[in-house]
Structure 1
Amino acid sequence: MTYDDIWRRLAGAYDQREARAVARMLIEEKFGLSFADIICGGVEALSDAGTQWLEAAVERLEQGEPIQYVLGWAWFCGLRFGVKPGVLIPRPETEWLVDTVCADSSAQNARKLRVLDIGTGSGCIALSIKQRLPEAYVEAWDISPEALAIAADNARSLDLDVAFRQQDALNLTPESDVWDVIVSNPPYICQRERADMSPNVLNHEPSTALFVPDTDPLLFYRAITRYAVGSLRSGGRLLFECNTLYAADTARMMSDEGMNATEVHDDCFDKPRFAVGEKKE
């Protein structure tokens, strides 16, 4: 099997340009080969075990399984996170949340900073924050035991100390003056948006981490905002990743629920993706 064999097989699931990119990423990531190595016969020189793994991986990709699940990992904020179908694949646009939390905290005493990530999934947000702010206390919640197990494995592999806790984001009891920062990327895709989504997302990523009812797209945002209003310290910040269709609505809801200085920010693709607010002094 050659590189050309692989990308041509994948052209049934991807367009030609993407098929080439996925084939190259698969080989480079798994076997550490450069593109020059690949072109010069590196794939044909793999061991029998490597060839067998590659054949099985290509078959999975042909069925539309995301390459991150096939590899077993994804990169986020320069760190490698183990991922399985029980958690969402980290997206590059989500790195804005980490960048913003850490930039805003640089002028504070990080040794006293308390950060909460609600709906942690693979733990990518919480662990990336902890890696950049090692003196901060970081806690991460998720309703899924499978997601928490994956996140804990990532914490061990990255040697980062984050506290994980099973918690339903829709049933939170406020705790007075507990957190300096609450960050969340909760489910936000309406059921009616399914028709516009890629099959490799619909068929492989966990639906409970993706979808909300059409009748209440802000379901999780409202519950988390109410918790944040009662649990953030004075001047503490709440940061959300949002459905771009409802970013302005999310910021407006945060203001209505008692948050101050609510703003909408664009992502790296110039789409309104984030809503940020502060607890009133």
Structure 2
Amino acid sequence: MGTFSDLVKSWSSQLSLYSKTEAESLVNWLLEHHLGMRRVDMMHFLEEKDLPKALHTDLERLKTGEPIQYILGYGPFYGREFEVTHDTLIPRNETEELVHLIIKENPGRGKKILDIGTGTGCIPITLNLEMKDSEVYGLDVSEGALEVARRNAKKLHAEVNFLKCNILNDLPPLIDLDILVSNPPYVPKKDQSEMHRNVVDFEPHLALFVPDEDPLVFYRVIGEKGKRLLKKGGRLYFEIYEKAAIEIKALLEKEGYDRVTIHSDLNGKERMITANWN
């Protein structure tokens, strides 16, 4: 009979793609999910042979680099659990910081908000739940992602209107927005080799990558269309590629936005940009 800590150590050592701390965290998450117990309750452990077969199956998937959120079918975001599938990106900490910035900068009730490239719906759902009397829309080009977003909204009792739209080709049928937010595809294909394989191999490339010859295409198009979507005094919020912060700022200023500001995340990386439309 091994101890709980022996099991965590043994399994985490098999996850060579991750650091020791990350691997142990993933193993603990997997055990808690399958056994339905908190970590503190698992200290008095049972034999490894008594563990459910599905747990061993999921460990094998973890070894391939598949993100645990896809394995378990959910991921945390802003204190809530969101369903994720291979049609959606996994909600990330930087996006939580973007949402927190929007909430902090926009007090008051009744804001009209659009999220472009909504994925799981984590941005518009959270904004609807955190901002009183908000009228919130989320759009995506992927029907698979929209189905996930709608399920998340229903489960979390959020009122969000989801639309299918290719922002590069179409203008959403909305006007007088207070807030336009987007975490669009922004990684040039040439940078794919620099990314962790658990992102490249498993997350949807449609939501990740842009052409090398036009890497700012989404920022340019959304910035241009945002001038027709936003009311005077409306605010534009982007999650950005840290390597392109200066270029995106210049692009928005050229489009006529003012108070264009680059924001760093908690790790000191330039990952957000805000602008006013006047």
1:254 aligns to what SS in structure 2?
Answer: helix
Match of 2:72 in 1: 71
- Aligned 1:75-90 pairs, distance under 5 A: 75-90=76-91
Q: Is the 8 A contact 1:77 1:128 kept in 2?
A: yes
The alpha carbon displacement at 1:174 in A equals 7.1
Residue correspondences, number: 273
The alpha carbon displacement at 1:141 in A equals 0.3
Q: In structure 2, what residue type is equivalent to 1:192? A: K
Match of 1:266 in 2: 264
Deviation string 1:229-278 (CA, Å, 9 cap, x unpaired) is 11210100000000001112111101101111111110111111111101
Q: In structure 1, what residue type is equivalent to 2:14? A: R
2:276 aligns to what SS in structure 1?
Answer: strand
Q: Is the 8 A contact 1:33 1:42 kept in 2?
A: no
Match of 2:14 in 1: 9
Q: 1:124 to 1:17 in 2, by over 3 A?
A: same
Q: Is the 8 A contact 1:174 1:230 kept in 2?
A: no
2:181 aligns to what SS in structure 1?
Answer: strand
Q: In structure 2, what residue type is equivalent to 1:36? A: V
2:234 aligns to what SS in structure 1?
Answer: strand
Match of 1:98 in 2: 99
Q: Which runs of 4+ in 1 moved over 3 A?
A: 1-5, 29-32, 42-46, 174-177
Unmatched segments (≥5 aa) in structure 1? none
TM value normalised by structure 2:
0.92
Question: Which whole-Å CA distance do the structure 2 matches of 1:197 and 1:31 have between them?
Answer: 33
Percent identity between matched residues is 35
Matched, 1:52 2:53: yes
Matched, 1:26 2:30: yes
**Correspondent of 1:37 among 37, 41, 52:** 41
Matched, 1:279 2:255: no
Question: Which whole-Å CA distance do the structure 2 matches of 1:62 and 1:69 have between them?
Answer: 13
The alpha carbon displacement at 1:26 in A equals 1.5
Q: In structure 2, what residue type is equivalent to 1:164? A: F
Task: Tell which deviates more after alignment, 25-34 or 210-219.
Answer: 25-34
Question: Which whole-Å CA distance do the structure 1 matches of 2:48 and 2:198 have between them?
Answer: 29
Task: Tell which deviates more after alignment, 30-39 or 220-229.
Answer: 30-39
TM value normalised by structure 1:
0.91
Task: Tell which deviates more after alignment, 29-38 or 250-259.
Answer: 29-38
2:243 aligns to what SS in structure 1?
Answer: coil
CA RMSD of aligned residues (A): 1.9
Question: Which whole-Å CA distance do the structure 1 matches of 2:249 and 2:25 have between them?
Answer: 37
Q: Is the 8 A contact 1:30 1:71 kept in 2?
A: no
Unmatched segments (≥5 aa) in structure 2? none
**Correspondent of 2:204 among 195, 203, 206:** 206
**Correspondent of 2:163 among 154, 159, 165:** 165
Q: Is the 8 A contact 1:140 1:163 kept in 2?
A: yes
Q: 1:43 to 1:251 in 2, by over 3 A?
A: farther
